[in-house]
Amino acid sequence: MSAPSDALWRLIDDDDPTTLTLVVDTPAGPYVRRIPPAIPLPADAEPGTGAEEAAHTAAAAWGMPDFVFQSALARKGSGQRELGDRLLISGKRGAVVQIKSRTVQPKGEAEERAWIQKVTAKAMRQAKGTVRTLRLMPSDMVNGRDRTLSVVGDAYEWLAVSLLDHDHVPSGTVPTWDPIGMPALTLTRRDWDFLFDQLRSTTAVLDYLFRVATEPPIALDGEPVRYYELAAADAAAPPGDFDSDLVGPGGRPFSTPLLPQVPAESGVTRAHLMIRFVLEDVATSMLRDAVTEENRLTVLGDLDRLPVGIREEWGQLLLDMLDEVVQVPDGHVKWRSRRQLHADESGYRQMLFTCATRFGKDVEASFGSYVMLRHHQVGERTGHPEDLTSLGVMLTPNHDGRRPWDTTLIRIEGPTGLTQDELHDFEQLWPEGEKV
């Protein structure tokens, strides 16, 4: 099998026809990526239901269960309409996923292509109907954490995904459909599993789907090939311009490809898993009952926007900072912090990770003043404080044996409203240019 871009990677055939093998040329040398079949369907479920459950499992296990929603029923005249087989929602983006399973013995290639074309067109119509219904009337939907969110259609930018469960897709099959008024694409379950396994972030998968959904349709089971073409282009692209002075003294630009060539968490080290641990901590303990479900998902979505390509680096940084802050005399508090600023379609986003020696009301208040001050300063420098969001996460060692750390979180959006006296006091406590 030949590759579209032999200069960057090439495909090779494998003795196992169910497994695709890619050899990717990376700056660190060739990397072999084996892409297995989709995860098996549950043995105790009908094929159609099993395909929905398997797609949900892949997204919830490799992404976050909080962002994966089950279908719901909405009234339509005297009847009811099912709202998607699954929905992905993170930040201001959502995907309606319609899953179609081949439940009979495959026939000839012509018949299979006709069936695929038919169910793809149906899936796109269903996705369009789901979004239209959600825009007319919000619906309560339950996610993989068994939490309920009132989904308001106009609050999100939507795309449609036709997800095909078919073990014998004829080679080169490219489904087509009439325009439905929003981005749309088709995937096989192997494509779907690959993306979640590769990126390990629901937000990153959604961003990828929106990126490719406006391109011409490609052959089914070809998503890994397209992914690595785009990943190679990302790796070769020059860094974009960004004013590092916006973060203040000591700021420096950094760049990472949007699409990593090596799978996220491929090493399964503590550093790889650290950000996932923090996400789970925030999802299951901190925000479980303290805030509305909408606000909880907003915070998780902000945290999940940490670029996939630098998560290992940031995970190791957090581990190092936690080790460092405990090495102080009794009664003292040591702080370590690192922050990043980036821009996206909605404005500027600042993320602040902090570790402190212990937790207490005084430490919590100091952390709050630090985040508010840095948010105010960056907002002033950008000239658009209304377009700035800052998310601060503080970890403090826990010594009761039940958990390794406690997590404190603060999120600020828009102008802080700090008085001059408050600003003066915070600047005295947290002078710029000093190591925190």
Asked, for residue 251, whether it belongs to a domain, the answer is yes
Q: Are residues 252 and 208 part of one domain?
A: no
pLDDT at residue 72, as a whole number = 87
**Averaged pLDDT for residues 278-289:** 79
Q: Are residues 222 and 268 part of one domain?
A: no
pLDDT at residue 117, as a whole number = 96
- For residue 3, pLDDT beyond 60: no
End position of a domain, from candidates 177, 204, 236: 236
pLDDT at residue 226, as a whole number = 92
pLDDT digits (tens, 9 = 90+) for 90-124: 999 999 999 999 888 878 899 999 999 999 999 99
**Averaged pLDDT for residues 387-408:** 90
Among 240, 242, 241, 239, which residue's Cα sits nearest to residue 381? 242
- For residue 69, pLDDT beyond 80: yes
End position of a domain, from candidates 236, 256, 290: 236
Q: Are residues 333 and 252 part of one domain?
A: yes
Asked, for residue 58, whether it belongs to a domain, the answer is yes
**Averaged pLDDT for residues 366-383:** 96
User: Do residues 376 and 395 touch, judged by C-beta distance below 8 A?
Assistant: no
Q: Are residues 250 and 208 part of one domain?
A: no
Model-level pTM?
A: 0.91
**Averaged pLDDT for residues 323-337:** 90
Structure tokens at 175: 């489904």
Q: Are residues 200 and 54 part of one domain?
A: yes
CB-based contacts of 389: which residues, under 8 Å, 6+ apart?
Answer: 302, 346, 347, 348, 349, 350, 411, 412, 413
Q: How many CB atoms lie within 10 A of CB 329?
A: 7
What residues make up the domain containing 290? Answer: 244-429
End position of a domain, from candidates 215, 236, 257: 236
Q: Are residues 168 and 51 part of one domain?
A: yes
User: Do residues 394 and 409 touch, judged by C-beta distance below 8 A?
Assistant: yes
Asked, for residue 30, whether it belongs to a domain, the answer is no
Q: What is the widest separation between alpha-carbon atoms in the chain?
A: 77
Q: Are residues 255 and 182 part of one domain?
A: no
Altogether, the residues listed in the chain come to a count of: 436
Asked, for residue 229, whether it belongs to a domain, the answer is yes
Residue 405 DSSP label:
E
pLDDT at residue 261, as a whole number = 84
Give SS3 for 321.
Answer: helix
CB-based contacts of 252: which residues, under 8 Å, 6+ apart?
Answer: 244
**Averaged pLDDT for residues 215-229:** 91
Give SS3 for 292.
Answer: coil
Task: Give me the chain's average pLDDT, please.
Answer: 88
Distance, in Å, from the CA atom of 90 to the CA atom of 107, rounded to the nearest integer, reads: 39
Asked, for residue 143, whether it belongs to a domain, the answer is yes
Distance, in Å, from the CA atom of 185 to the CA atom of 166, rounded to the nearest integer, reads: 16
Residue 143 DSSP label:
B
Q: How many CB atoms lie within 10 A of CB 136?
A: 12
Distance, in Å, from the CA atom of 362 to the CA atom of 159, rounded to the nearest integer, reads: 46
Structure tokens at 236: 């070769």
Q: Are residues 272 and 225 part of one domain?
A: no
- For residue 286, pLDDT beyond 70: no
**Full strand arrangement of the beta sheet holding 388-397:** 335-344, 347-356, 388-397, 405-413
Distance, in Å, from the CA atom of 124 to the CA atom of 127, rounded to the nearest integer, reads: 5
Asked, for residue 231, whether it belongs to a domain, the answer is yes
Q: Are residues 218 and 86 part of one domain?
A: yes
Distance, in Å, from the CA atom of 88 to the CA atom of 298, rounded to the nearest integer, reads: 14
Q: Are residues 277 and 199 part of one domain?
A: no
More confident residue, 379 or 289: 379
User: Do residues 53 and 71 touch, judged by C-beta distance below 8 A?
Assistant: no
Lowest mean pLDDT among 214-218, 288-292, 369-373, 401-405: 288-292
**Averaged pLDDT for residues 294-305:** 93
Q: Are residues 110 and 59 part of one domain?
A: yes
More confident residue, 256 or 193: 193
Q: Are residues 194 and 274 part of one domain?
A: no
CA torsion 179-184-185-188 (nearest 10°) is: -120
Asked, for residue 3, whether it belongs to a domain, the answer is no
Asked, for residue 205, whether it belongs to a domain, the answer is yes
- For residue 287, pLDDT beyond 80: no
Q: How many domains would you assign to the chain?
A: 2
CATH number, domain of 81, equals 3.40.91
- Using the structure block, give the residue that is written with the tokens 């990943």: 231
CB-based contacts of 335: which residues, under 8 Å, 6+ apart?
Answer: 325, 354, 355, 356, 357, 436
